[in-house]
Amino acid sequence: MMQPASMGELIYLDHAATTPVDPAVLEGMLPYFSERYGNASSIYGLGREAREALDQARLRCAEVLGCQPSEIVFTSGATESDNLALRGVAWAARIAGSGRDGAPHIVTTAIEHHAVLHTAQSLERQGFAATYLAPDERGIVGAPAIEAALRPETCLISLMHANNESGAIQPVRKVAEIACERGILVHTDAVQAAGMLPLGVDELGVDLLSLSAHKFYGPKGVGLLYVRKGTAIDFQQQAGSQEQGRRGGTENVAGIVGLGLALERAEERRVAYIAHCRSLRDRLMRGVVAAIPDARVNGPLDPALRLPNNLNVAIPGVDGETVLFNLDLAGIAASAGSACTTGNTEPGHVLLAMGLTAELCKASLRFTVGRSNTEGQIDRAVKEIVRAVERVRAVGSNVLRTV
């Protein structure tokens, strides 16, 4: 069993939103905020020291992904990486085929992160074409559906490795096999997969892959985009010669060092982390379902098709955000879906795409466990979840009686 982190009275059950920086990762980063503060583009010793740190981080990431270090582009996070993947491939296709009939076409899914969805929609406004495929009731988009959506002018398929809300693992490898036969590039947003699923790019068969460090116990504000050698991509951020001319701007050396260390440590601990998370997630699921019989688990019930740390559950008759406020008062942090959409009163797009009603979407809660959690915390969380639901339902009943 992993050792709990020191988090006071807080029970943190929102690891899909972000994770605390691993102390060993922070220790490795600290020198690059102080005595090793050089600009990696400078030719003197301090700069060369920073460049060496970048090279070492790139090598660490490449070893986890099973690629060449030169195939990794460091970014500010997965949002930038997703934007670069879609825009870069789409514009490269337009430039290469400017006289061909039909606009370059992207196939993606209705359950992608908004970093992908909004980018695809933006490209549509610029004259590109896009298809958004709905998942089945489990939250999975099948390879046959993607194959049926392909066109002669399709230049890219963007399919996330695993969904951040439902936890559903997508058939990236099968889709990549189909795409390879047709000469179509494949991008995967693998943000939720690091430390839980294999990330070998050859095994996945992908041409582009996005990661964000803060999802696997690294720092915020840094990520990467893997770009397979030979991939036609129009790099978007122009400035100096940083990242081999692929992304201009002074490198975030400390952040990149943290990314490399965090990804390496996440891969080294992956087997133990999966077992730890699955045990606690299942304990949480059993407790909630037993105490709230009408609770419904959203997403795949087959553990092979779901991230081991994810539980998404709909509880009829409650407002999810109201339950979350009650849980927060009890010292429990959870969410109603993606942290990027918190505060939006509209039902979550992922659950809606899976066929849930708007009412059930708004009654859904997402719990994602991690390194810091213990069995004792899970047992306490179950009790507080039940209390919060009973309290919210009681208030709702009283309101109805007075109407």
Domain encompassing residue 313: 11-21+270-402
CB contact set of 239 (below 8 Å; sequence gap of 6+)? 248, 249
CATH number at residue 125: 3.40.640.10
4 located within any domain: no
**Residue 86, Cβ density class (10 Å: 0-12 exposed, 13-18 middle, ≥19 buried):** buried
Same domain for 262 and 274? no
2 located within any domain: no
Same domain for 254 and 356? no
Q: For 39-57, give one letter per residue: b (16+ CB within 10 A) or e.
A: ebeeeeeeeebbbebbeeb
Phi, psi of 168 (to 5 degrees): -70, 130
Encode pLDDT of 357-402 as tens digits: 999 999 999 999 999 999 999 999 999 999 999 999 998 654 434 3
Domains identified in the chain, total number: 2
Same domain for 311 and 233? no
Same domain for 133 and 247? yes
126 located within any domain: yes
Q: Is 340 a catalytic residue?
A: yes
CA distance 104 to 127: 9
Catalytic site residue from 61, 67, 340, 361:
340
- Determine the pLDDT at residue 399: 41
Q: How many helices (H) and strands (E) does the chain have?
A: 13, 12
- Residue 33 or residue 98, greater confidence: 33
3-state secondary structure at position 189: strand
- Determine the pLDDT at residue 338: 52
- Choosing from 240, 268, 296, the residue where a domain stops is 268
Instruction: Inform me whether the pLDDT recorded for 100 exceeds 50.
Output: yes
Least confident range of 224-238, 334-348, 375-389: 334-348
- Please provide the average confidence, as pLDDT, over all residues in the chain: 92
Q: Which amino acid appears at position 28 of this protein?
A: G
Least confident range of 22-26, 210-214, 317-321, 343-347: 343-347
3-state secondary structure at position 35: coil
Same domain for 352 and 249? no
CA distance 76 to 208: 16
- pLDDT mean over 159-185: 98
Encode pLDDT of 144-154 as tens digits: 999 999 999 99
Q: How many CB atoms lie within 10 A of CB 283?
A: 17
Looking at the DSSP assignment, which residues form a beta bridge with residue 287?
Answer: none
CATH number at residue 293: 3.90.1150.10
Evaluated on CA atoms 83, 84, 90, 94, the torsion sign reads positive
User: How many residues does this entry show for the chain?
Assistant: 403
| Residue 191: half-sphere exposure toward Cβ, Cα within 13 Å | 29
- pLDDT mean over 256-266: 98
306 located within any domain: yes
Q: Which amino acid appears at position 390 of this protein?
A: E
5 located within any domain: no
Q: For 362-399, give one letter per residue: b (16+ CB within 10 A) or e.
A: bbbbbbbbbbbbbeebbebbbebbbebbeebbeeeeee
